[in-house]
Every structure is written in structure tokens, then in C-alpha cells.
Amino acid sequence: MKTYLVGGAVRDELLGLPVKDRDWVVTGATPDEMLQQGFKQVGADFPVFLHPDTREEYALARTERKQGRGYHGFTVYSAPDVTLEEDLRRRDLTINAMAKTTEGELVDPFGGREDVQARSLRHVSEAFAEDPLRILRTARFAARLQPLGFTVAEPTMALMRQMVKNGEVEHLVPERVWQEIQRALHENEPGTFFEVLRDCGALATIVPELDRDDALSVALSALRCVHNSEAETSPRFAALMSSLTPDEARNRAAQLKAPNDCQDLARLTTSLLPQIRAMTSYRAESLLEVLDEADVWRRADRFAELLQTLNCALPDTEQKKLGWLESAQHAATGVQAKDLMAQGYRGKDLGRAIRNERLRRISEL
């Protein structure tokens, strides 16, 4: 029975990056032997255990064999006779297929250290083609490591293109696609994720509305801008959708099964952008229409995220309009229904009185 540190911890250590998670592979052991040593089994599909003290994950060495299409359809074999090299061979990229012994010796059967030095994202073996999710994972690693100079190796890009051509990407379920997109939106250079998908042809399947040079360049410019403001997921996704029509954005967000807050902000951004672009001067009526549609009176936090997104989706020449909206919001938010009720307004008359008072305050700015 031997234990090895594997994957991202080894890679990040070689890169001089902080090691966040440490995963281990165990060879020559059975599940019963792990349980006898106090480990707690947590893996349902294959034997993964939590260390009794550190709570770090220890997985028994395993191999995988493809049985169907998509990222499902794998049969897993885990037994004491599976070697470390066999376990590492099933991994996606060479930089993730390295291990370290408990004595600190590097085990690198597939040239991962050389690819770290060359800043190259290269697949371990042709088994990469068995799992289309690896296309998205490779794009996400490119987004994470782009600031360090990493790019996708040409043989790997060629293999990804062939996988797309073979229709493998079409078998990915929306939940897994969204999971990778959400992670990618928060990587160091999120735009790279979508550029890699474009270059291998997968973007035409995953977000076909962005598979146009004009739409993608506008979307990535907005996304990179929002990323620099350390935004939450919903403004990032809304920025990505900002070059689409409202119908396109709404349909794509729904098909990706994005969370409701992401779908909501993407819909609001794409529907309000044309209205804001159409403003040629400070008009209280137009500003109030935008504020009403954004429901700023009840959703002030969402409106702040909307402004954050619009700030990156609008050109510099139109930024002053966001100032108009912010000023209008501050002026009109102070209208209190109770004050107008004290003046005798009720029912529909109260609603009209609130709107008129908001208009008056915005007009006086």
C-alpha cells in the first residue's frame, strides 16, 4: 500500500502557486483496508475516502473505460493491482497527471513538468477524446493559467476539433455545461475560455449566439471589464449575454439552466440596453420607465448589479446616461407612500400620485 499526492497540488507547487486542495491516490489497497485505518468512504461511483484527521480525499487507484456517448457511460475498475501510472493515464492534461511520493519524489510518466515549463496544455493520451467535458475543462484551465503564458497545445486543439466534429459535445447535459461556464466566469482571464471554445468549434454548440465575431468580441470586452470589478456571477453572465437580443439571451440562459438570478439579470440587461442607447437627452419620463422596469424600488441590490453590467456594456460615449439613472434613482427613491396617503390619496390615485411625485423629483434634478 502506497500513497501519492496527485493532480493540482503537484502542478501548482511546480508553478509556485498556493496549494489550496491536496488530493491523494492510494495503490495496493482495498476499501476494507482503508476503513480499518479509520478512513471514511464518501465516493459512490468509485472508492474515495476522507482522512480521519486532515479530511483530505484519498482515492484508490482506478482505470476507466468508455462505454457510451458524452461524459456518462464510463465503467470504473479499482483494485490493488491498478498501478499509479495507469491511474495517471486516465487524467485529462499532462500538467494534471503528475504525482509525488510521501518522500517528495516527483512521478511524471507523461512529461507534465516539461509542459509546465513550456506553458503548454497537452492531453495525456487519446483517451482524452472519450469525455467531451474535457474540452470545457481544458478551456477553463486555459482561462486560469493564461496570465502565466499557458496555451492549448496544437495536437490537443486538433483532437478537440475532431471531438466536436464527431458530435461528442452535443451529448453534454446543460447542468454540467453551466457548471463549467460558471467556474470559467471567475477564472483569471475568463474571456480565454470562450475563445478556446470558438477555436475548437465547440462554441457553436454551447453558445451558438456568440459564434459570430462581432457578438463574441463585444461580449468578451464587457465580460473582461466586469471581471476587473470582481463582480458576482450574475453580472458576469449578463455581460457575456449583453451583445445578444433579449430573446436570444433569455432562450440561451434557459437552455443552459443558469440560476434564476443570472437569467433575470441577463434578461434585464439586454432589454434595457436598447432603451438606454436610445436616450439622447435627460428626460424624466424615459429615466423613470427604466427604473420601473428594473423594479429599483424593491430590487435595489439587483439594480446595483445592473449598473455594474451596463457600465461595461455601454461605450464610453454613453456612460453619462448611467449617471442620469443613478441620480434619478436617488431622487425618486425618497418618495414615501405614507406621506401621500396622509394627503388623502388611496387606491389607483395613490399609485398615480407616487409616479407623479417621482417624475417631479427627477425633473427637478
Q: Which residues are annotated as a binding site for ATP?
A: 8, 11, 91, 137, 140
Of 227, 305, 219, nearest to 265 by C-alpha is: 305
What are phi and psi for residue 120, nearest 5 degrees?
A: -125, 135
Residue 130 is inside which H or E element, if any?
none
β-pair partners for 75: 65
The Cα–Cα gap between 54 and 3 comes to 15
Rounded CA separation 361/358 (Å): 5
Q: Residue 358: beta bridge partners?
A: none
How wide is the angle at C-alpha 131 spanned by C-alphas 20 and 45, nearest 5°? 65
**Residues that constitute the known binding site for Mg(2+):** 21, 23
Which amino acid, 338? K
CB-CB neighbours of 271 under 10 Å: 16
Any idea which residue has 457575456 for its cell? 240
Query: Which residues neighbour 43 within 8 Å (Cβ) at sequence distance 6 or greater?
Result: 49, 59
Binding-site residue positions for CTP:
8, 11, 91, 137, 140
Q: Return binding residues.
A: 8, 11, 21, 23, 91, 137, 140
User: In which residue are the cell numbers 443558469 written?
Assistant: 258
| Residue 182 identity (one-letter amino acid) | Q
Task: Kindly write down the DSSP assignment for every residue of 240-273, as one continuous string.
Answer: HHTTS-HHHHHHHHHHTT--HHHHHHHHHHHHHH
Closest by CA to 190, choosing from 231, 230, 144, 234, is 144
- Type of residue found at 16: G
Half-sphere exposure of 345 (CA within 13 A, CB side): 17
Cα–Cα distance list, 148 to 16, 330, 364 (Å): 11, 43, 52
